[in-house]
Structure 1
Amino acid sequence: MKYFTLLQLNKSIQKLIHGIQKDFWITAELAQFQLREHAYLEFVQKDENRIVAKARGLIWADTFEKLYESLGDGIFEILKEGSEVLVQVRVTYHEVHGISLMVLDLDEKFTIGSLELKRRETLEKLEKEQLLALQKQINLAVVPQRLAIISSKEAAGFTDFMNQLENNSWNFIFHTTIFEAGVQGQRAVSEIINQLNKINLKDFDAVIIIRGGGSRLDLEAFNDYELAKAIAVHKLPVLTGIGHQRDESVCDIVANAALKTPTAVAEFLIQRALTYWNEIATFYQEITQLTSNKLSNEKSFLKDLKNDISRLGNKTLQQKQRGIAGLELEISKELKYRLKSENQKLESLERQVIQLDPQNLLNRGYSITLKNNKPVINGDEVQVGDEIESVLKDGKIISKVLATNGKKRN
């Protein structure tokens, strides 16, 4: 019986496969991707969730370098585990490692189409879970100033954003804190989600996720379901400024507000502050004008009131003056009447006084008897032996009482 060693058989298979001398374009799902010096892959084909075919793949270092020069970081989105790829392969066989598919080229358009389909499925899933509009229900602060920035410090988009924000023409001040994360490639999704979870809600007004321009594949991380969900359920309003592509990413759609570029986000924040400032300035002018009008009206009212008071005061003063003049006239008349009456009384008293003047009595022959220089009115005011003085018209007589009340001296 003729037989072969395993090595002989494998070499025969190798010779047979190498004799094919033909390259193939195949579609498959990428189950594994590892990049060392060379890129090592595993391709699978599934029927629903069942794997019906599997093969190892390899991209030599020089081939990978050429693909990277052509696609940039987008190559990592194409070669991301779970991606559908269209690759040009050459079947190779090694005695020890068996069959491998050596990748010679890949078609990015096929993967982009597959990614777009996946993007739509992601949007449908988010809509079904009622997550698309959650962020829109959060009120953005009138002037967001405390900003949590998720980006890479080295990214040109971050630099553009900060320059635009800090060098605004109105000197508005914004307080920014950077939460550094990758914004493309396989690590971007997990790093951004991790940073979202670190943000203290009390310390910030809004979250800003920014990334500069790039290819469709460079921005694929922002179509990831888990990242979009993390943004949708965040308690702070999330603003995005992702690239400059015409198509919106899923993260743009779920965000509170989506701007096309990092610079546009900065300008949005500046314009929001400027709008508020102008509203305040307009309100201030309106208040100033209203105050001025009110003050002018009050001054006019006070002036009219002053004139009214002045007129009323003059009128009242004139009335009072006329009243006083009339009262003075009445008082004058009354004084004259009373003065005349009193004069008449004085004249009457004067006549009486003249009539009662003792000298007149003396002139008519009467005399006045004095005792101790006091008039004697009654007889019992003197005693026998008292010396009295009789005052006459032109002299006086001094006498000594010999008897009183008809009594004679013993």
Structure 2
Amino acid sequence: MHGLAAQGPLSVSRLVSLLQELVEDNFVEVLVEGELSNFSRPASGHLYLTLKDAEAQLRGVMFRSQAKRLKFQPDNGMQVICRGRISVYRSRGELQLIIESIEPSGVGGLQLAFEQLKRRLAREGLFAEARKRSLPAFPRRIGVVTSATGAAIRDILNILGRRSVGVEVLVRPVRVQGEGAEEEIAAGIADLNRCGVDVMIVGRGGGSLEDLWAFNDEVVARAVHASACPVISAVGHETDWTICDFVADLRAPTPSAGAELVVRNRRELESHLDQLALRLAGQMRGRIQLLRERVTGLRRRLIPPQQQLQLQRSRFDHLQQRLYRSVASGLQMARQRLKLSSARLDALSPLHTLARGYSIVFKQPGQTVVRHAADVGPGDKLRVRLAEGTLTVAVEESEP
């Protein structure tokens, strides 16, 4: 310091430049742990923050190219470990940390990113059981999104070929790890949907969390959610869980298990069909026996035509006899009523009165019945009706 002072006063910019050289030459790569504060992400895509502890604080910046690689979302209050280099921000003469990577303290960045995305998608309803669809019982066209060179595709095709007949398998080869793999997987899901597959297997073989990370990406989760057909997620081993597993309609612990879930075993189907055939035959035999018993019962109740005709004839004869008796009885009663009426009529008839010696006198002409002597005079002609025959007489004298 005495040597610099002997050279005379330094300008501020010169002093800051010397400090910048000193700091950047000696702090090329450092790991700094602290609490995030003043975190911001402007439209430029850079990240600005402050790392602090109980006694000091340090400003930091993470440029957009590195910020795009972050798997989790930093936030104020989070305890993190930043890797980077120390520099001097010349316009303010302040130390700052140029950050290359950020990891959460105590938990990996990928794991934190997994939990953050999982919570956010769950809040949106992408994991809801109500939206999950059942697999088709007998798919005719199956889509597979996976690597064309991995063991997973060989296992899937082997099982599909062994367990099913007449099923069309469409394979959409994609990269399953590395930069850009998530976009390829999402594009493969969309392509197979356009091909009209009945069900789809999306997966890969086992690996580390980093290897499986493409299936934890939001773009893959959105593509699975938007699929028009049911999706089986078959990623890694049984202990491996990805975001794709939660969004898919069904999770398979391995790619082989996914193939077994999508098609039924041919022998199992044959056995099932045999059981159905036996049940159907038993039901048909029972039905036929029931119908036979009904026919036998109806046959017993059925009267032969000859017997039925004889019964009808007997009934006809019986009815005919009843009719004859009814007619004869009716005629007899009518005769008796007629005889009685005739007797009554005879008793009231004028002829019966004439038969007892009476007569009826008619004045001529005009045939007027004479009831009083005063009705006629001498010389009038009368006709007398007797019980038998008539008389014509002339009046000589009348006495009233």
Range class of TM-score, shorter chain: 0.5 to 0.7
Match of residue 284, structure 1, among 277, 294, 316: 277
User: Highest relative contact order (Cα 8 Å, sep 6+), 1 or 2?
Assistant: 1
Who is 1:53 aligned against? 60
Secondary structure, in 3 states, of the residue corresponding to 1:271?
A: coil
Are 2:136 and 1:141 equivalent residues in the alignment? yes
Cα distance, 1:114 vs structure 2 = 2.9
Displacement, 1:177? Answer: 0.4
1:308 to partner: Cα distance? 5.3
Aligned alpha-carbon RMSD (Å): 5.0
Q: CA separation in 2, counterparts of 1:102 and 1:87?
A: 6
Matched, 1:191 2:184: yes
1-structure distance, mates of 2:127, 2:103 = 29
Q: Is the CA contact 2:238–2:254 (under 8 Å) kept in the aligned structure 1?
A: no
Match of 1:267 in 2: 260
Query: SS state of the match for residue 188, structure 2?
Result: helix
The structural deviation recorded for 1:25 is 5.1
The 1:207/1:12 distance shift into structure 2, 3 A limit, reads same
Per-residue deviation at 1:203? Answer: 2.3
CA contact (8 A) 2:104 2:112 kept: no
Given the alignment of the two structures, is residue 80 of structure 1 paired with residue 69 of structure 2, yes or no?
yes
Report the CA distance shift for 1:135/1:157 in structure 2 as closer, same or farther (over 3 A). farther
Do the aligned partners of 2:139 and 2:263 also contact (CA within 8 Å) in 1?
Answer: no
Amino acid at match of 2:221: A
- Residues 46 and 107 (structure 1 numbering): CA distance in 2 closer, same or farther, change over 3 Å? closer
Task: Give, as a single letter, the amino acid of the residue that structure 1 aligns with 2:226.
Answer: V
1:221 aligns with 2:221: no
Structure 1 residue 145, shift from structure 2 partner: 3.3
C-alpha displacement of 1:210:
1.4
Distance 2:191 2:198 in 1: 15
Q: Secondary structure of the equivalent of 2:241?
A: coil
Pairwise CA distance, 1:259: 0.6
* TM-superposed deviation, 1:230: 2.0
Distance 2:204 2:134 in 1: 24
Kindly report which structure 2 residues correspond to 1:379-394, keeping only aligned pairs within 5 A, or say none: none
Cα distance in 1 for residues equivalent to 2:110 and 2:122: 18
Whether the 8 Å CA contact 2:60–2:98 is kept in 1: the answer is no
Number of residue pairs matched?
Answer: 275
1:166 aligned to 161, 164, 174, which one?
Answer: 161
Q: Any gaps of 5 or more consecutive residues in structure 2?
A: 1-7, 52-57, 75-79, 89-95, 312-400
Residue 117 of structure 1 pairs with residue 112 of structure 2 = yes
Checking the alignment, whether the CA contact within 8 Å between 2:143 and 2:197 is kept in structure 1 is yes
CA distance in 1, matches of 2:203, 2:171: 11
Gaps of 5+ in 1: 32-41, 57-75, 94-98, 321-410
Alpha-carbon distance, 1:202 to partner: 6.8
Share of identical aligned residues, percent? 20
1: CA distance between counterparts of 2:200 and 2:285? 43
Give the deviation of 1:205 after TM superposition.
Answer: 0.7
Cα 1:150–1:47 shift into 2, 3 Å? farther
Pick closer, same or farther for the CA change 1:52–1:196 going to 2, 3 Å.
Answer: farther
In structure 2, the partner of 1:212 is: 205
User: TM-score, normalised to structure 1's length?
Assistant: 0.52
Of the structure 1 ranges 251-260 and 292-301, higher mean CA displacement relative to structure 2 is found in 292-301
Q: Deviations along 1:4-29, whole A, 9 cap, x unmatched?
A: 9x999979865665557995455899
CA apart distance, 1:294: 2.9
Q: Is the 8 A contact 2:205 2:237 kept in 1?
A: yes
Q: What is the aligned counterpart of 2:168 among 152, 163, 175?
A: 175
Following superposition, the deviation at residue 307 of structure 1 comes to 8.9
Paired residues of 1:135 and 1:254 also in contact (CA < 8 A):
no
Q: 1:248 to 1:10 in 2, by over 3 A?
A: same
d(CA) in 1 for partners of 2:50, 2:102: 23
Matched, 1:243 2:243: no
CA offset digits 1:337-377 (Å, max 9, x no partner) = xxxxxxxxxxxxxxxxxxxxxxxxxxxxxxxxxxxxxxxxx
Shift of 1:3: 7.2
Q: Distance in 2 between matches of 1:292 and 1:278?
A: 21
Q: For 1:142, give the aligned amino acid.
A: A
- Give the 3-state SS of the residue equivalent to 1:154 in structure 2: coil
How far apart are the structure 2 equivalents of 1:143 and 1:236? 14
Flag the 1:2–1:117 CA change in 2: closer, same or farther, 3 A. closer
